[in-house]
Structure 1
């Protein structure tokens, strides 16, 4: 069995099509087919089933794909470790964060880190909390900046700071003249919320469940700015953190006096994934950044 055979198999499994896989690999389809046939002959079982013009993994193929993915990932990490020993101040850092942190918080963090580590390259992603957990588990990213609202194996999370959640209402809304309200006062209101999978949505549902209130959700969005736009148009109210550098001139933020509405933000990573010197430097920078800012609760680790 050759490494090339495993690589060819991986691409076919991902593309689910021999012709497209051959184009990506820059080889002829006949060469690719012979390689897969030789691999199947050596293993003694078929790995694919034909579906129309494409192919899909059978149970043998799924098992082989899972195992060989780990082998290839280990190989890439071994290469990376050698490179990191040679040049510990160089490298690429993959980092995901909540969309609500993209307007100010994350750009400031990245800018300050690059001022101290100019040779680092960033791969940045904006995702929901659940999507970022999947990225961590697959090894696609090194860290994510998120609230932790769901348990995942091998994922560690360290608290950095907390944010108050406010009720957003349109300026024309009867509640707009108030400075604070209790959560039950919006029980009958139309609710504009983030979609399931976002940490703030999970916190929102827990707060309403604990209060025994059935929320009337009329719109679900993926972007807090869009949610605020719907609120400004008088289409409902929302529960969100205060967003920096986002136009909120058409809405009013009301403090929730009962119950306490907050979310905690922290850095999460996969305890089983290799972290490069650059990634470890970023972790130290991030924790130090919030410690200097007086972030209460720093240093508490949780494993999920």
Structure 2
């Protein structure tokens, strides 16, 4: 077993295709397949199953990925710390983000970061806050940007952004609603919200419980982009961070209404594993994301006050 085999193995796990994995590792496909076969022989385990969906890790392959991926990232981080002494930032970082971040600023942040640090490879995925926390604990992710809830967190974190969540309506439908709107006045509105697995929904449910307000939720959709499109084309309304629907607010197809008594706010935080210090590349990417989120929030705030 050598580092080359392990890197080929991780690449195949993450790409799900020998063609894509070989392209990522800059080798021909037969060479990658041969090294995977050698690794399987050495471990005495079949690591992948071939299916119509591509190459799927077996239970043994999934276990190997969970064990090997943190080790390889640690090696990459160690190399980066030595290399960075000469001023060059390189390495690989794996980050998880909640959907409201991926739909708002991720593309721009990645473009800026890639121009500034072309030697850093970034792997970004979106999902639920709870899933990202588990992946950070296991070492599959270097860090994650998630929604902070009231539940006690067993991982170190740093603040990234505080912002209000707003009632979002189709522009034409919002003119008859008071602005700001009281939280209790959400009762009776045709609400579409993320499911209970979503950290944004947890924030709303916690406030509703505190205020003894029974909100009727007739539709649950986790895809933020789908919620935005549904609100734009119908009489449904939602409660989301303004950043998550910034495109619709900017083009005038959606209208945002502040919620008061109480205000609904969310706190984005960056969590990481205390046993795996953040690399310089990770810290720089966090700074880039935070800067883009703050800029987007400031633009929306300026639009609301204009």
- Residue number in structure 1 paired with 2:258: 255
- Residue number in structure 2 paired with 1:162: 162
Deviation at 1:24, TM superposition (A): 6.8
Give the whole-Å Cα distance in 2 for the aligned partners of 1:141 and 1:95.
6
Task: State whether residues 105 and 293 of structure 2, in contact with CA within 8 Å, keep that contact through their aligned partners in structure 1.
Answer: no
2:275 to 248, 263, 272: 272
Check 1:183–1:284 CA distance in 2 against 1; reply closer, same or farther (3 A cut): closer
The alignment's C-alpha RMSD in Å is 4.9
Unaligned ranges ≥5, structure 2: 20-27, 299-306
- Residue number in structure 2 paired with 1:218: 219
Check 1:27–1:207 CA distance in 2 against 1; reply closer, same or farther (3 A cut): closer
Single out whichever of 180-189 and 279-288 deviates more from structure 2. 279-288
Check 1:179–1:123 CA distance in 2 against 1; reply closer, same or farther (3 A cut): same
TM-score (norm 2): 0.64
Deviation at 1:239, TM superposition (A): 0.6
Give the whole-Å Cα distance in 2 for the aligned partners of 1:35 and 1:255.
57
Check 1:280–1:238 CA distance in 2 against 1; reply closer, same or farther (3 A cut): closer
Q: 1:40-55 maps to which residues of 2 (within 5 A)?
A: none
What is the aligned length?
Answer: 279
- Residue number in structure 2 paired with 1:43: none
- Residue number in structure 2 paired with 1:127: 126
Deviation at 1:265, TM superposition (A): 2.0
Deviation at 1:74, TM superposition (A): 4.7
Deviation at 1:289, TM superposition (A): 9.1
Q: Which has the higher Rg, Structure 1 or Structure 2?
A: 1
Give the whole-Å Cα distance in 1 for the aligned partners of 2:291 and 2:171.
39
Deviations 1:157-196 (A, max 9, x none): 1123311111123345487342122222222233211244
Give the whole-Å Cα distance in 2 for the aligned partners of 1:79 and 1:108.
28
- Residue number in structure 1 paired with 2:178: 178
Deviation at 1:124, TM superposition (A): 5.4
Give the whole-Å Cα distance in 1 for the aligned partners of 2:223 and 2:118.
33
- The 3-state SS of whatever aligns with 1:246 is helix
- The 3-state SS of whatever aligns with 1:123 is strand
- Residue number in structure 1 paired with 2:137: 137
Check 1:124–1:56 CA distance in 2 against 1; reply closer, same or farther (3 A cut): closer
Unaligned ranges ≥5, structure 1: 41-46, 296-304
Q: 1:34-183 maps to which residues of 2 (within 5 A)?
A: 39=43, 56-57=58-59, 74-85=74-85, 88-102=88-102, 105-106=105-106, 117-119=116-118, 121=120, 123=122, 125=124, 127-130=126-129, 131-149=131-149, 155-171=155-171, 173=173, 176-183=176-183
Give the whole-Å Cα distance in 2 for the aligned partners of 1:284 and 1:27.
35
Q: Which has the higher helix share?
A: 2
Give the whole-Å Cα distance in 1 for the aligned partners of 2:294 and 2:263.
24
Give the whole-Å Cα distance in 2 for the aligned partners of 1:144 and 1:70.
15
- The 3-state SS of whatever aligns with 1:217 is strand
Give the whole-Å Cα distance in 1 for the aligned partners of 2:289 and 2:13.
35
Give the whole-Å Cα distance in 2 for the aligned partners of 1:200 and 1:48.
40
